[in-house]
């Protein structure tokens, strides 16, 4: 049974944007699980070939969103990456960039046909979850949203251990004290999947494996493989000898490694050791050891404006010509 919207026609949400949207969706309930044919990439680079893995970065900023002068080229939204293989739609992380993905999907056939979306979380720091309440497809009753994340045991406010699943974490983010619209008002059909660093998933034609990264409260890296192509997404990771070696094995021979390049080595060594992030020099080391073909540098520091990121990109290319500092909205087809 598809959950129905609980807003009435007269009840106005304090965030009227949601009110209008949810109401419109509730008038035309569809059937959960219909295959959708999204048009997100058709304008730009859809080859019509469903064996291609299509990747689009909707947010590449780390730590918190930024805007203003100096952020035009690389953008200010936090982590969200969309991967499409035919009718299989995978999203990694729900930073503020997921709002833009939702707007794109709403221009596709999704609202009419419904469909499945797989949302994988690397971890639940703010910059990876805070766009979720603004992801419009999550309000569509004919969308089946599969949500994947780890369950963590962490100290509570009184230092007693608490268990936090991905479901609990997302619900608490939308507690009425923080946000006016709770997850119970998001009318999509939601299934929560508990995963671990050992998990193996098959989503449509995409095989996914996981790997634990060194970061406060730890992070999951994902390796996506389809039709002989492979894409590794590894953000929020601090390098050390073991991490460099193990990640180069996890990313072995990948076509693309998307990696946390938040700091220059000089910045890292000056004051960022232990902050949970890495450098492009470490990324390049992983690529060289693992035979990775292309490096996508992501999780840009909020203090790094366009000139700084362009300079870092130029320096990285001297060491590894296939290094690319990812701009928001960058698309790549494998």
- List of residues contacting Zn ion (CB under 5 A): 62, 125, 127, 236
What minimum distance in Å lies between the beta carbon of 328 and Zn ion? 15
Count of CA atoms in the C-beta half-sphere (13 A) of 281: 8
Closest distance of CB 274 from Zn ion, Å: 13
Nearest residue to Zn ion on Cβ basis:
125
Cβ 60 to Zn ion, closest distance in Å?
11
Write the CB contacts of 6 (distance below 8 Å, at least 6 apart in sequence). Answer: 184, 185
Phi, psi of 201 (to 5 degrees): -125, 150
Q: ∠ CA(64), CA(287), CA(296), 5° rounding?
A: 35
Nearer to Zn ion, 22 or 213 (CB): 213
User: How many alpha carbons lie under 13 Å from residue 206 in its C-beta half-sphere?
Assistant: 25
**d(C-alpha 171, C-alpha 281), whole Å:** 38
Please state the closest distance from residue 238 (CB atom) to Zn ion, in A: 10
* Minimum CB distance to Zn ion smaller for 116 or for 236: 236
CB 45 within 8 A of CB 333: yes
Query: Cβ 236 to Zn ion, closest distance in Å?
Result: 4
Go through 57-74 and write b for each residue having 16 or more CB atoms within 10 A of its CB, e for each that does not.
Answer: bbbbbbbebbeeebbeeb
> What letters, b where the CB count within 10 A reaches 16 and e where it falls short, cover 243-264?
bbebbbebbeebbbbbbbbbbb
Nearer to Zn ion, 32 or 261 (CB): 261
Measured from the CB atom, the residue of 127 and 150 that comes closer to Zn ion is: 127
| Half-sphere exposure in the Cβ direction for 147 (13 Å, CA) | 24
CB 20 → Zn ion: shortest distance, Å? 31
Q: Which is nearer to Zn ion, 144 or 304 (CB)?
A: 304
Closest distance of CB 226 from Zn ion, Å = 26
Which lies closer to Zn ion via its Cβ, residue 108 or residue 130? Answer: 130
């Amino acid at each position: 049974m598809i959950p129905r919207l609980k807003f009435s026609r007269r009840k106005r949400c304090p965030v009227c944007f949601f009110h209008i949207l949810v109401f419109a969706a509730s008038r035309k309930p569809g059937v959960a699980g219909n295959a959708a044919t999204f048009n997100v990439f058709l304008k730009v680079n859809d080859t019509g070939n469903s064996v291609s893995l299509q990747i689009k970065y909707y947010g590449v900023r780390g730590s918190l969103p930024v805007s203003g002068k100096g952020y035009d080229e690389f953008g200010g939204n936090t982590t969200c990456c969309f991967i499409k293989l035919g009718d299989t739609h995978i999203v990694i992380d729900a930073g503020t960039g997921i709002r833009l993905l939702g707007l794109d999907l709403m221009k596709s056939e999704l609202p009419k046909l419904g469909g499945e979306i797989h949302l994988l979380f690397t971890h639940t720091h703010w910059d990876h979850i805070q766009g979720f309440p603004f992801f419009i497809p999550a309000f569509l009753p004919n969308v089946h949203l599969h949500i994947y994340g780890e369950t963590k045991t962490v100290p509570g406010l009184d230092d007693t251990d608490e268990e936090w699943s991905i479901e609990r974490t997302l619900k608490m983010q939308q507690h009425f004290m923080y946000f006016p619209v709770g997850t119970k008002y998001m009318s999509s059909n939601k299934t929560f999947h508990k995963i671990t660093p050992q998990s193996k998933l098959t989503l449509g034609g995409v095989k996914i494996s996981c790997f634990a990264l060194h970061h406060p409260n730890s992070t999951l890296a994902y390796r996506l493989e389809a039709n002989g192509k492979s894409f590794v997404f590894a953000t929020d990771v601090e390098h050390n000898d073991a991490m460099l070696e193990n990640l180069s094995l996890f990313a072995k021979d990948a076509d693309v490694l998307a990696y946390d390049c938040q700091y220059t080595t000089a910045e890292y060594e000056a004051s960022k050791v232990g902050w949970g992030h890495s450098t492009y020099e470490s990324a390049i080391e992983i690529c060289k050891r693992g035979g990775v073909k292309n490096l996508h540098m992501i999780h840009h520091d909020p203090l790094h404006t366009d000139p700084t990121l362009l300079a870092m990109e130029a320096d990285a290319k001297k060491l590894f010509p296939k290094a690319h500092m990812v701009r928001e909205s960058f698309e790549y087809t494998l």
